[in-house]
Structure 1
Amino acid sequence: MKLNIDYQEKFQSRHIAPNEADTAQMLKAIGVNSLDELISQTIPEKIRLKAPLDLPPAKSEFDYLNTLKQTASKNKVFKSFIGQGYYDVIVPGVIQRNILENPGWYTQYTPYQAEIAQGRLQALLNFQTMVIELTGMEIANASLLDEGTAAAEAMFMQYSTRKNQSANVFFVSEEVFPQTIDILKTRAQPYGIELLIGDHQTVELTDEMFGAIIQYPAGSGAVYNYKSYAEKAHEKAIKLTVVADIMSLVLLTPPGEWGADIVVGSTQRFGVPMGFGGPHAAFFATKEEYKRSIPGRIIGVTIDSAGDYALRMALQTREQHIRRDKATSNICTAQALLAIMAGMYAVYHGPKGVKLIAERIHGLTILLAESLKQLGYDQLNGAYFDTVKFDLGALAGPIHSEAVNNQMNFNYKGSAVTISVDETTSPEDIKTIVRFFARVKGKSLNDVSFDELTQNLKTVIPADLQRKSAYLTHAIFNSHHSEHEMLRYIKSLEAKDLSLCHSMIALGSCTMKLNATTEMVPVTWAEFSKMHPFAPTDQVGGYMQLFDELNKWLSEITGFAAMSLQPNAGAQGEYAGLMVIRAYHNDKGDSHRNIALIPSSAHGTNPASAAMAGMKIVVVRCDDNGNIDVADLKAKADQYKNELSCLMVTYPSTHGVFEESIIEICEIIHANGGQVYMDGANMNAQVGLTSPANIGADVCHLNLHKTFCIPHGGGGPGMGPIGVAKHLVPYLPGHAVVDIDKGKSIHAVSSAPWGSASILVISHAYIAMMGSEGLTNATRYAILNANYIKKRLEHHYPVLYTGANGRCAHEMILDCRAFKNFGIEVTDIAKRLMDYGFHAPTVSFPVAGTVMVEPTESEPKHELDRFCDAMISIRHEIDNVEKGILDKTDNPLKNAPHTASVITANEWEHPYTRQNAAFPLPYVAAFKFWPSVGRVNDTYGDRTLICSCPPLTDYEFEESEVTTPEYGT
């Protein structure tokens, strides 16, 4: 027997699920002889790539991790005292292992189907409650992307709700972090908002100002009493935003008690690693009166069909999909996984534990300041929490050298230095700093009465700024402080949520594919997780190599000249791409080009992003086949040829079809002076077979949390980097702190230079281990799986749109509108799927009354069959309603989902059996996932909005309040 010692397992065989036998059976069912034949019938020949992707050979999982370790070693993990919104943390092991590193939490989808998402909804409600209590505000959302963009959202909320419509000046304290000011500049430009940057203590407040923003503590570390400033602002009808350090609010008077209208910030230091900039959960808290203007997602309390406590996303959860270009924000996501971690940090430590941590940080900061004072250094901040500031003069250079020699990073600005203490700082660290500060002056540690200072530490926070109000008072923050209790609590919530651990999540447009363990492992390596985003460039060689490789690979995949990795969400990528187009036109002297043509089928974020970029939206019709109406496009491009800025197009289309006319569409736009922006939501049907540049696009954002395997995390994190053609490269986003300017860069769109850098390693791993062949095969199998489902279901549910040869791309739309004639809504199908153990496909988008199905390449044939069997069984149930065999109002669809408590109740009064309700197909018994609540009542929840944790003993409902609502989508 000859032995093969060159064998190396291919990662693609682990990522792509269908085996050879499955593939043959699916091809036969579809009616083609080969995968190549299917692809040729699906993707127009004129847009297909002529050569394979030029990527490095695929690595095995073992080899990749070994190679990445070498890359990671080029990152020098110094002790960070830089601060500026980023701090080292101690991640509780029970949270790291059981949430951050647990696929039961990171492979969940956004909780749109609330009945099978009660665990993460409760965890996010905990987060909101934590934020409300710490900030002293009345309502909070379930997180935003980062501190800087949260501040920008606050500015725009103030602008859009201003009473004086002529007011267009926004005051920005010069002590707001520079990365935040940079983003404010980006957001202000398209609306003509004038930023007045200055000293809050001397600025003259005028009627032209609609809002103001200050930092608490300030960027220098100083803690100011802003109460009188807030009063003066309100006298002028100026709304006040406060950017607050959440850890400091444990000791400082919360902004809600001295006049803030909005409080934003980052929860990163509540147990979330720095990760070279992210991902981190920002918070946004405000007054009750602004509840319908607050951006992002809000978790609210409601009741289910039995009248019991339940949770769901409330109010304008997807406002931009409803209001489109009239939306006040394009936010379509959150940082759910990171918000959950931060909330759990508060649950685990409780009010006493968090206060001890804050006091320790504050105490060590005072110890440092007083020790250096004894050495003759003048500390410039009067009151402070965790940051001290010194003007070192000629000693700045020697101090910098000593710090580097001791592997410590401070924040330098000229001769000034700030030093920020965090949770990981120890008394020994303070001694080390004092020792080399002493050495520079020819002194020693013996010149400091260190022990005496340690024994006599007293706060420097003035009495009127010391917090007196209670916080984290709810029982949830006072119950789970032992690890065993915390573990059980986390697991009890996890058990309520359906994730990819349980079954396929066939969400059209959302590409819920395998997030391989090997891709996830490096995220928590110290070399990646403990890096400050503003660390010196000579310390971050590993990250720079990773970014460079990912940039090259994504450029090759898209056909573009370069990428910006900064946008940290898909909608953020849309906005960044449009701002790049805007800058390009302005630079050419074409600032009048402000018309964006957008097909009627587009994602709601497209028109919302275009409006935020200062563009006017003109809608292009779609024809009866769901394709862009080329004649209408041509007419409108010609009509607006002098003002045309761009076309926003999704490809394959939002209807799941490779439009044959795409090259002609792009040529029409270019001929009329416009640029083509391609939405990359459906990139999983392009990689290796065609590309955005190949069809004629100029810009494209990539949803790395879709095509390139970053997990959805229960509603975030995501990443939305943009690729651009050569002529647009100079305009890619820059940054105020780290020099990444391309020559004519727009201001930053995210707080960190490379966005949520630590999760870029996931996409890097995916591409490196798949290689050219693997990535191309992934696309081929995604198309195969979709067309197999189409073949199995098209005789039961009409497929709304197909390509020229009757094929769909990687997804399809199943038409359920006819069922409404006999009382069945598409929502009923979605809820009934839960009884079969599945999360519903995308509901009522892009066409109301439909479901959009996308299986991805990661699902095997038997899972596709299980899903199809469920859909066909539901179709038979619908038939029985139509025929009168099942009651029109009391049937398994209308009553779905059925909980264990309903099934096991003593009484059963329905005309169908318990068996049929809970175990409608034989396989369900072996895979049963029980929804933890019955169908949620959205109407009740919005009518009685509760967005923080109510004591369950107090949460009782009058019988008259429990109604049967009209359930929407």
Structure 2
Amino acid sequence: MLERSSYQSDVSVAPSEANGKNLDQTNGAITPHPTPHTPHPTPLPLAYTDSFETRHIGPSPDDIHQMLSLLEFDSLDALIDATVPAAIRLNRPLQLESGKGEYELLQELKEIAQQNQVFRSFIGMGYHNCITPAVIQRNILENPGWYTQYTPYQPEIAQGRLEALLNFQTMVTDLTGLEIANASLLDEGTAAAEAMAMSYGLTKTASKTFWISEACHPQTIAIVKTRALPLGIEVLIGDHRNFQFETPVFGVLLQYPASDGSIYAYQEFVERAHAAGALVTVAADLLSLTLLKPPGEWGADIAVGNTQRFGVPLGYGGPHAAYFATKEAFKRQIPGRLVGVSKDTEGHPALRLALQTREQHIRRDKATSNICTAQVLLAVIASMYAVYHGPQGLRQIAERVHQMTAILATGLRELGYSIASESFFDTLRVEVPAGKADEIIRRAHSHHINLRQIDACTFGISLDETVCSDDLIALFQIFGGGQIVHFLPEDLISPSPHPIIPPSLQRTTPYLTHPVFNVYHSETELLRYLYRLQCKDLSLTTAMIPLGSCTMKLNATTEMVPITWAEFSQLHPFAPLEQAEGYQTLFQQLEAWLAAITGFAKISLQPNAGSQGEYAGLLVIRQYHQARNETHRTVCLIPQSAHGTNPASAVMAGMRVVAVACDNDGNIDVADLKAKAEQHRQQLAALMVTYPSTHGVFEESIQEICEIIHANGGQVYMDGANMNAQVGLCRPADFGADVCHLNLHKTFCIPHGGGGPGMGPIGVAAHLVPFLPQHPVVSVGSKQGIGAISAAPWGSASILPISWVYIALMGAEGLKKATEVAILNANYIAKRLENHYPVLYKGKNGLVAHECIIDLRQFKKTAEIEVDDIAKRLIDYGFHPPTVSWPVAGTIMVEPTESESKQEIDRFCDAMIAIREEIREIEAGKVDRKNNLLKNAPHTAAALTSDEWDHPYSRQRAAYPTPWTRENKFWAAVGRIDQAYGDRNLVCTCLPIEAYQ
């Protein structure tokens, strides 16, 4: 690593791609900087030194003093002493280095990145290099207007990304030939596991056996097996050509094309599966479906897969958007999120999340899935890739890839090799003579090329849209003994005598016929379309997003810069480890830092969402009990206030949920917990607990709670959703947690991306380390470890540099200060609003943690005003509403984070106080209870400029309730949406243009 210079710079410029050069060319500017291998010159002392901490933390020192004065505290230390229980305080600095400057740190990270070797990877297995159109990279992937949005639970201010997701769903249904698709899942393996679970719930057979084709990708097989084990589902793996359904199965999983590239005619097999009462899931390559007959046309019930090759960088495994499509009849069982069309109060088409949105909060342990997230940002990119290229462009890309593969096959046959499959799309299975494999691998590496070695005598070669003639020439040389071959690729263009795609498997049906996929093919038009959509969404570029439990803090530009560096973005997840030394260095350092922050012995970075972290943590606990011959421990205690994914995850892990009561202050009822723990002493597996509590309070009894569980033989799983209130102040492992997941997309600055990506790594105590996740392709974990959780061994690796940069920039003191200010900001809001609204729960000294719950329930009686009315009115004031009706119905949960300034927080509080005055007018009878500012919110520009206005208040008051709204007004794109109408008339694909006219 570079030594830290004696001054810090806030210039966020990436060093040049070439290692060791003295000039850095960025945006045409040439900036001198020291070479990586020479000491930094000692600069002259500066009168003013800057630090990233001051950029990340919103309130200034003067602001902090004023806020503390309102709270009647002399210092931040005094506030924290009164808020965080003394018994759990970490009374020493975190064992981390001091924070570094932004420019300096990017140079250091560039050196780490350059330890990676970016080879041409023809490995395939569901991951392919691709071209991200520059207009999409710059205007979506690198654009905070897209990556800082929150999940579209407030659809009136999320119409842009909802339209992009509707495009995604339409793209998937068109290409798969099925009727309905969701808005994306985490990865292909997870989607396949969800399909198995859905099939199990749908079929009426008594079978508990699921059959998987051996031609599926190994990581997909591994994840399905992981999911099946705790549910008592038996997994059979075999060749579909030999399986006769003599063993009853409830579902089957096929790969199309197969992992080795073969294209099989599955229709007869599917008919036999249906005759046996089984549902059929097909994991299909989406690009191939522009040429191949789609699964829906030959009988598939479910199609799953990865949209990564639709413009999303490899990123060493993620994040990428998986897809999940099925039949209309199964719409209520689809896992994840579903975007549907409804209408607003004016009768105009409007989009929102449909049906089972946040079903975990409603159904809890009866939920069919614990997935409460998606890969929205990546789904948006994939959908825009299809919009940009259109149906003809996609087909041309597919035909070129297929033609290059056919040329490669012809050339390899010329060289004397056998191609195992007669039919293929982009992947060849190449048989080589015994003893030749090592020589071929050596030659490939000398050309900086990776191949997939299937076994001692077989290679897989997968081509993609980036392949050119030089790549084929290099492959011919590799397989031709290292000599220049006597033919060139253009010599082989003539049609192969071997059939490639049989006529019966060729696609004949149209796809992507909707105008959205046929009008934005020039960059000018796409650019304008992207910005039209962006303007319909409220992101952190617009205003504070004060969502409780969601931690919408600054995602600094410097943190985001490295994700598009080629060294991080262009690596295949199954490339040899020696080519990923930079990633391994970053993983090791990030794991060590997270371990220091949490107190745990070891971190696994594999879970690629918070829900996956919950599930992985519980499986680790399950495996620990089984290793001790205590398989009978299956009871999981969960407080009634817990996040809804907790009980859903517990059921998926094979556990039985027992609810624990909360007292009147929102804390866990310790007496009830103790009684339940003792009652189930012999069966107790775990307690799932969120800390600070789901109600936003540091519970004084947390150590006693952990001791009760341990005394009764159980383990403590801590939900790390509220870790933003702990960093630097206390550590989960110190006060009794055995395992904890961390939402890197919350506490550690990975942006929410409109509802995904996320990362949910887990930390475990020493006795649980042997049980961390394994992976079937890359060696991670130990033999005792649980099976794979995510398709890639380190989850969504390409976004981990974001958290690495955040921690390194902040350092030990900066991280602690961030936590303290997050707690300060939340208590400042609670104090400013307490004379206008009740604050529902407070801790021992009348203080909250990093968020507070504002009770709005009384207004239903006094003014017929619901919580949604207040939320929608906040949109008129320019704010994203806080979390609504969770964890308590009729309330809002507010979390300002440390990144919001006092000015922005005051603006939010002023808006809430002004809305309270509007409610008082209703309570006093001055305003109609049905026709008022709140009931009619949000007010759109179209409604305000209409010739008709039948409201007893002025247009000016509706549109511009405060001075700041006159200066910078954010307009909701649609009026309040009729949710019920959309569910009664479910439409989940693009509407014809006439519907919007």
Give the whole-Å Cα distance in 2 for the aligned partners of 1:748 and 1:428.
37
Q: Is 1:735 the counterpart of 2:775 in the alignment? A: yes
Deviation at 1:743, TM superposition (A): 3.7
For 2:557, the equivalent position in structure 1 comes to 517
For 1:570, the equivalent position in structure 2 comes to 610
- For 1:934-945, list aligned pairs within 5 A: 934-945=975-986
For 1:453, the equivalent position in structure 2 comes to 492
Amino acid at match of 1:121: L
Give the whole-Å Cα distance in 1 for the aligned partners of 2:196 and 2:852.
39
Amino acid at match of 1:425: V
For 1:827, the equivalent position in structure 2 comes to 868
Give the whole-Å Cα distance in 1 for the aligned partners of 2:250 and 2:985.
31
Give the whole-Å Cα distance in 2 for the aligned partners of 1:360 and 1:740.
37
Give the whole-Å Cα distance in 1 for the aligned partners of 2:627 and 2:286.
41
SS in structure 2 of the partner of residue 292 of structure 1: helix
Amino acid at match of 2:66: Q
Aligned residues: 951
Give the direction of change, closer, same or farther, for the CA distance of 1:6–1:71 in structure 2 (3 Å limit): farther
SS in structure 1 of the partner of residue 123 of structure 2: coil
SS in structure 2 of the partner of residue 351 of structure 1: helix
Query: Aligned to 2:462, which of 420, 430, 434?
Result: 420
Query: Aligned to 2:760, which of 720, 733, 738?
Result: 720
Deviation at 1:954, TM superposition (A): 5.1
Give the whole-Å Cα distance in 2 for the aligned partners of 1:652 and 1:184.
34
Q: Is 1:606 the counterpart of 2:606 in the alignment? A: no
Q: Is the 8 A contact 1:834 1:931 kept in 2?
A: yes
Deviation at 1:921, TM superposition (A): 1.3
Q: Is 1:622 the counterpart of 2:662 in the alignment? A: yes
Deviation at 1:57, TM superposition (A): 2.3
SS in structure 2 of the partner of residue 619 of structure 1: strand
Give the whole-Å Cα distance in 2 for the aligned partners of 1:476 and 1:503.
30
Give the whole-Å Cα distance in 2 for the aligned partners of 1:452 and 1:596.
66
Q: Is the 8 A contact 1:363 1:457 kept in 2?
A: no
Q: Is the 8 A contact 2:248 2:276 kept in 1?
A: no
For 2:816, the equivalent position in structure 1 comes to 776
For 1:965, the equivalent position in structure 2 comes to none
Q: Is 1:367 the counterpart of 2:388 in the alignment? A: no
SS in structure 1 of the partner of residue 480 of structure 2: helix
Amino acid at match of 2:829: I
Deviation at 1:283, TM superposition (A): 0.2
Deviation at 1:449, TM superposition (A): 6.1
- For 1:456-535, list aligned pairs within 5 A: 456=495, 460-535=500-575
Give the whole-Å Cα distance in 2 for the aligned partners of 1:800 and 1:151.
42
For 1:960, the equivalent position in structure 2 comes to none
- Deviations along 1:336-355, one digit per CA (max 9) or x if unpaired, are 00000000000000001000
For 1:961, the equivalent position in structure 2 comes to none
For 1:145, the equivalent position in structure 2 comes to 186
For 1:229, the equivalent position in structure 2 comes to 269
For 1:650, the equivalent position in structure 2 comes to 690
- Deviations along 1:32-81, one digit per CA (max 9) or x if unpaired, are 11111100110010100021100122111011100001000000000010
For 2:955, the equivalent position in structure 1 comes to 914
Q: Is 1:837 the counterpart of 2:856 in the alignment? A: no
Q: Is 1:767 the counterpart of 2:807 in the alignment? A: yes
Amino acid at match of 1:727: H
Q: Is 1:434 the counterpart of 2:476 in the alignment? A: yes
After superposition, the CA RMSD in angstroms is 1.2
Give the whole-Å Cα distance in 1 for the aligned partners of 2:265 and 2:529.
39
For 2:10, the equivalent position in structure 1 comes to none
Deviation at 1:391, TM superposition (A): 1.8
- Deviations along 1:722-775, one digit per CA (max 9) or x if unpaired, are 000000000000000000122411000100000000000100000011000000
Query: Aligned to 1:246, which of 269, 282, 286?
Result: 286
Deviation at 1:905, TM superposition (A): 1.2
Give the whole-Å Cα distance in 2 for the aligned partners of 1:50 and 1:921.
45
Q: Is the 8 A contact 2:348 2:996 kept in 1?
A: no
Query: Aligned to 2:102, which of 61, 64, 77?
Result: 61
- Deviations along 1:785-826, one digit per CA (max 9) or x if unpaired, are 001101100111100000000000000000000011121000
Q: Is 1:75 the counterpart of 2:150 in the alignment? A: no
Amino acid at match of 1:717: P
Give the whole-Å Cα distance in 2 for the aligned partners of 1:7 and 1:222.
65
Q: Is the 8 A contact 2:515 2:993 kept in 1?
A: no
Give the whole-Å Cα distance in 2 for the aligned partners of 1:208 and 1:646.
34
Deviation at 1:320, TM superposition (A): 1.0
Q: Is the 8 A contact 2:472 2:489 kept in 1?
A: no
SS in structure 2 of the partner of residue 723 of structure 1: strand
- Deviations along 1:471-495, one digit per CA (max 9) or x if unpaired, are 1110000000000000000000000
**Contiguous gaps of at least 5 residues in structure 2:** 1-42
Deviation at 1:615, TM superposition (A): 0.4
Q: Is 1:929 the counterpart of 2:970 in the alignment? A: yes
Give the direction of change, closer, same or farther, for the CA distance of 1:430–1:7 in structure 2 (3 Å limit): farther
Query: Aligned to 1:753, which of 790, 793, 796?
Result: 793
Give the whole-Å Cα distance in 1 for the aligned partners of 2:488 and 2:418.
17
Q: Is the 8 A contact 2:469 2:489 kept in 1?
A: no
After TM superposition, the score normalised by the length of structure 1 is 0.97
Give the whole-Å Cα distance in 2 for the aligned partners of 1:632 and 1:290.
40
Give the whole-Å Cα distance in 2 for the aligned partners of 1:304 and 1:256.
33
Give the whole-Å Cα distance in 2 for the aligned partners of 1:917 and 1:545.
55
- For 1:356-395, list aligned pairs within 5 A: 356-392=396-432, 393-395=434-436
Give the whole-Å Cα distance in 2 for the aligned partners of 1:346 and 1:802.
50
Give the direction of change, closer, same or farther, for the CA distance of 1:272–1:3 in structure 2 (3 Å limit): closer
Give the whole-Å Cα distance in 1 for the aligned partners of 2:712 and 2:263.
55
After alignment, is 688-697 or 124-133 more displaced?
A: 688-697
Give the direction of change, closer, same or farther, for the CA distance of 1:860–1:590 in structure 2 (3 Å limit): same
Q: Is 1:353 the counterpart of 2:393 in the alignment? A: yes
Give the whole-Å Cα distance in 1 for the aligned partners of 2:489 and 2:511.
33
Query: Aligned to 1:298, which of 315, 338, 348?
Result: 338
Q: Is the 8 A contact 1:571 1:720 kept in 2?
A: yes
Give the whole-Å Cα distance in 2 for the aligned partners of 1:524 and 1:955.
36
SS in structure 2 of the partner of residue 694 of structure 1: coil
After alignment, is 561-570 or 878-887 more displaced?
A: 878-887
Give the whole-Å Cα distance in 2 for the aligned partners of 1:922 and 1:63.
41
**Contiguous gaps of at least 5 residues in structure 1:** 957-969
Give the whole-Å Cα distance in 1 for the aligned partners of 2:781 and 2:757.
26
Give the whole-Å Cα distance in 2 for the aligned partners of 1:513 and 1:695.
27
- Deviations along 1:548-578, one digit per CA (max 9) or x if unpaired, are 0000000000000000000000011000000
Give the whole-Å Cα distance in 1 for the aligned partners of 2:106 and 2:187.
29
Give the whole-Å Cα distance in 2 for the aligned partners of 1:695 and 1:954.
57
Amino acid at match of 2:52: F
- Deviations along 1:834-853, one digit per CA (max 9) or x if unpaired, are 00000000000000000000
Query: Aligned to 1:40, which of 81, 85, 91?
Result: 81
Q: Which runs of 4+ in 1 moved over 6 A?
A: none
Give the whole-Å Cα distance in 1 for the aligned partners of 2:238 and 2:842.
57
- Deviations along 1:374-427, one digit per CA (max 9) or x if unpaired, are 111111111000000112122211111110000000001222100000011111
Give the whole-Å Cα distance in 1 for the aligned partners of 2:63 and 2:274.
68
After alignment, is 412-421 or 148-157 more displaced?
A: 412-421
For 2:56, the equivalent position in structure 1 comes to 15
SS in structure 2 of the partner of residue 445 of structure 1: coil
Q: Is the 8 A contact 1:205 1:233 kept in 2?
A: yes
Q: Is 1:103 the counterpart of 2:141 in the alignment? A: no
SS in structure 2 of the partner of residue 283 of structure 1: strand
Deviation at 1:451, TM superposition (A): 2.9
SS in structure 2 of the partner of residue 798 of structure 1: coil
Amino acid at match of 2:738: D
- For 1:106-117, list aligned pairs within 5 A: 106-117=147-158
- Deviations along 1:479-530, one digit per CA (max 9) or x if unpaired, are 0000000000000000000000000000000000000000000000000000
Q: Is 1:559 the counterpart of 2:584 in the alignment? A: no
Amino acid at match of 1:286: T
Amino acid at match of 1:338: L
